[in-house]
Amino acid sequence: MLRGFYTATSGMIAQQRRQEALSNNVANALTPGYKQDQATLKAFPEMLIERMENKTFPPRRETTIPMRTRVGALNTGVYVQETIPDFAQGALKNTGISTDMALVNGVLPDDNGSLFFTVQNAEGETRYTRNGNFTVDGQGLLVSNQGYYVLDQTGNPISTDGQEFNVTAEGSVQVGNQATQLGIAYSANANQLVKEGEGLFRAEDGQVLENARTNQGVTFSVQQNYLENSNVDTAQTMTDMMQAYRMFEANQKVIQAYDQSLDKAVNEIGRLR
């Protein structure tokens, strides 16, 4: 009977963690470039239950033979294996702000591939983001909304000299007579990227993603004065949150039923008279 406690408890923990991921999606529904997390649930390994018994056959001499009868499989619970970002393209929003940029996926040769702007964090490490909510700092450098330098295709910060600039569909930042190519990175399997928060991703083991322009199978465009909205479907997410709550509640009632059964077993059936 105690095994049922563990099974129901694991279900409650899994739904709680799923609820946390869904709540985070709702909280970032208005964050530009945010990619919603999807929690994947996996069952613990199943156990095969068998009944062991002895059968006696009455020939001349009684013979006792050990027998095993298969009862069936028993699942011992469920857990959240991982949370995977959904890199589907979000809708574009016209902001009218010249420093805002939206990265639009074109043709990607891999189903799990995705494109990113390249930025440099406070430690000088390369990170990747879909959030094109950029601005210009006091030194005339293009920075993200966290203050991280936006990099060009050679890995250097992009300078605007404090002047007005235009961004072409090919991702070229034009300041006067000078043009600088935005650093656009491509990941063939974006699910392998590590999510760091603040809309930033990094490659595993500190690797650097390839330049999207060097991959002949990749096409993209950059829209100035636009931002990419998050791809969170708030209506569907609220439905999923309600479903997770109901499943949590169902597991909770199972634990209460087990608790009542044990209470009777200890205080009524097992009472000494």
- DSSP per-residue letters across 168-199: -TTSEEEETTEEEEB-EEEES-GGGSEEEETT
Prediction pTM value: 0.79
For residues 88 and 22, is the Cβ–Cβ distance under 8 A? Answer: no
Q: Which residues pair with 173 in a beta bridge?
A: 167, 180
- CA–chain centroid gap for 242, Å, is 19
Torsion of CA 233, 30, 93, 195, to 10 degrees: -80
Residue 149 burial by Cβ neighbours in a 10 Å radius (0-12, 13-18, 19+): buried
Q: Which two tokens stand for residue 116?
A: 């990113």
1, pLDDT greater than 60: no
Looking at residue 63, its pLDDT comes to 62
Report CA-CA distances (Å) from 192 to 80, 84, 114, 164, 187: 17, 9, 11, 37, 9
**Domains in the chain: boundaries:** 2-83+233-269, 92-228
Q: Could you read off the pLDDT of 101-138 as tens digits, one per residue?
A: 999 998 898 888 899 999 999 888 999 999 999 999 98
Residue with tokens 């309600």: 242
Q: How far apart are CA 10 and CA 191, in angstroms?
A: 26
- Average the pLDDT over 73-99 and give the result: 87
